[in-house]
Structure 1
């Protein structure tokens, strides 16, 4: 087979990477996810397109099985038919081990999956794809761990993520509720991607073995506790906890109780796929006064309440690569031409809610082109910002209790902040 596979990815139906195996170190999971998301947005229905695609120097080959996609990526001139057959053989191997291949079976048996991926391919070249041969030296039973085989924590008193004897003169807990907004707007001003990825980030400086209890205004939590959910209760999706959280208790009464690790860790992550109104809206109008002079007029508008203020706002406006002598004027903040990024960077330190600011940029194009030539495909407008004391989801920490047998008093500090993630508005 000519050429070798760089990496193999197993992705869920939303294009998120569940498991990856890097064989040659030149294609990352982030690249694969970006390709997959871009491909779905461009083609609409991925099943209606062929199984081989080329993007940014990488050839991607994929197949779908139930609610997952198996995807290979290669930077070499490889035999696509052989690799597609190889992906189907992988499905057969996984079905031999797990009975059914789907997202849940992968999550339950990821150790076996990685063992298999190490054996069926070596440095990007397929090796063993016969399940009977693989089962001779990869014993499935060795990776099926029964819960009953593990002594409960109450018997061993083992907390693997925290050592005993921790001591601080001043006991403090810092809890940051951080949300990243991912937005993609097409050239018609339509919102085609919208999600919020949040995390409860903790820094604990606590002595001993403290017991912590955390209460949120999540709708599911409140209803399970018999509380009314009028007003600010919210629904959280895709909740994932740190291993310190007692999941059995959470399943019973939705109480988040845990013995925290010492230092920094993510207590909980979540995702909201609901429609999100862009917090900072940017419109750009391009006027060509001649074939060599172009003017761009930009409006930036904050679409949140006046009591909140965005800080460290940076708006990256793409300009042609041959632009020269830009003349930039703004009604707020500062703007500079960044030729290494082919963009004008507009920076606003403080952007209050319900405000609108303007930027006008004029530059020249030394290259002479035909008036009938098609327009170049421009990069999107990218926006960065931070909004302290604000969350899109409306999540709130109702209480954070810290109990330790020595009886010390700990000071909990809670902050909220919303930040721009992949925040892009397309021009064309």
Structure 2
């Protein structure tokens, strides 16, 4: 695989990092890319796809924490491979800088260019392993002070029993030396699940799937061996059963359709006691990726109704009910619903005493938007929207509006019930007891309710 250029742009289009490996692409490619992405209107889509072609140049991009990571080439290459490369470059840079933002890039541009020269040579990828790069990259990162970082909301995302994970814990560089000369021995494990659910108009689940990963980031000196124990009732594969056969799902434990492991993971005792052994490499890496289509209880139930309310008028009612325990709080919830093309105005009515909620009607895209700062488990929220049309409508309104889509993040909660039972670290001495942090996060991948 070969690329011609790599660059990173800010949300304003400012050029933060630029490397031209083969001088095959015109120099104005950064401006061409940003102008195309900013004013993308093709095929009725508001956002540009991750891959597009302009004047014979292929542009590939991913957006990471508000920054555009872009590669260009004139040759025919595998799109998924280039997008994976961009994600890995972002991860390597984050491993070194501790945090990805415009400020950290500008303070460490010498280090970033040194990394890029080792990762890619004349357009060809050499390595994206933080462990390997430590042997060739010698510049020390200039770390951003924790006070300059945006606070994570809510802080409960790091709560774990009586302990609390430091808010800047996972933003530390894996290579920087501690100013005090002492290195805090700790390891972080994230179980991140992205769920896809489609509800029918009557509220029944049509499709459901979980894409999960166990991510690890180690700050342990000497790279000791680690053992991770998962659920004893964990099963891989369905034994020939259909993915829609849920007759024994409630009593058969956690059933994963398939999974794969990082190359450093040893599976000697996985079949017998569901434990993984590994010596963690430097940097952040996925210990295990898995997929699950076993029936699970969706975290939110969405009910939507749209009906005629007079000549040139209609009313939309959206109800969201949280189906998780009351000690769990979901945050950054966003609900979107496309409205009929002839909608000219929308007025909103929230429930009495509603706080932390915003509503909007995007007239150009005819999109209803409803955002909620947080939802406590067991709570129910309702939005009423009165629509005004510019012309009389004929036929069924439900066919011209929707579906309703939803995004959210739920800290310390996972729907698959996959658990890390214990995290064992090989002891160097009797007093060696590093900090262990385990966090669960559930996010929406494609959460859609038909009308």
Please indicate, yes or no, whether the TM-score normalized by the shorter chain is above 0.5.
yes
Partner of 1:350: 374
CA distance in 1, matches of 2:285, 2:396: 54
Partner of 1:269: 289
Partner of 1:199: 213
Partner of 1:188: 202
Partner of 1:314: 334
CA distance in 1, matches of 2:397, 2:378: 37
Match of residue 230, structure 2, among 194, 208, 216: 216
Match of residue 385, structure 2, among 332, 350, 361: 361
Unaligned 5+ segments in structure 1 are 1-55, 58-121, 125-159, 222-229
Partner of 2:416: 393
Match of residue 334, structure 1, among 335, 355, 358: 358
TM-score, normalized by length of structure 1? 0.56
- Answer whether contact 1:389 1:415 (CA < 8 A) is retained: yes
Partner of 2:12: none
Match of residue 178, structure 1, among 192, 201, 204: 192
Q: Which is further off, 161-170 or 394-403?
A: 161-170
**CA 1:403 to 1:288, structure 2 compared with 1: closer, same or farther past 3 Å?**
same
Matches within 5 A, 1:67-78: none
CA distance in 1, matches of 2:441, 2:398: 39
- Answer whether contact 1:246 1:258 (CA < 8 A) is retained: yes
CA distance in 2, matches of 1:311, 1:232: 31
Q: CA RMSD in A?
A: 3.4
CA distance in 2, matches of 1:315, 1:190: 19
The alignment covers a number of residue pairs equal to 268
- Counterpart check, 1:284 vs 2:304: yes
**CA 1:261 to 1:375, structure 2 compared with 1: closer, same or farther past 3 Å?**
same
Structure (1/2) with the larger helix percentage? 1
Q: Deviations over 1:37-92 (max 9, x none)?
A: xxxxxxxxxxxxxxxxxxx89xxxxxxxxxxxxxxxxxxxxxxxxxxxxxxxxxxx
Choose 1 or 2 for highest CA Rg.
1
Q: Secondary structure at the residue paired with 1:219?
A: coil
Matches within 5 A, 1:244-255: 244-251=264-271, 254-255=274-275
Q: Which is further off, 324-333 or 167-176?
A: 167-176
**CA 1:293 to 1:218, structure 2 compared with 1: closer, same or farther past 3 Å?**
same
- Answer whether contact 1:181 1:422 (CA < 8 A) is retained: yes
Partner of 2:450: 426
Q: Give the drift of 1:200.
A: 0.8
Partner of 1:382: 405
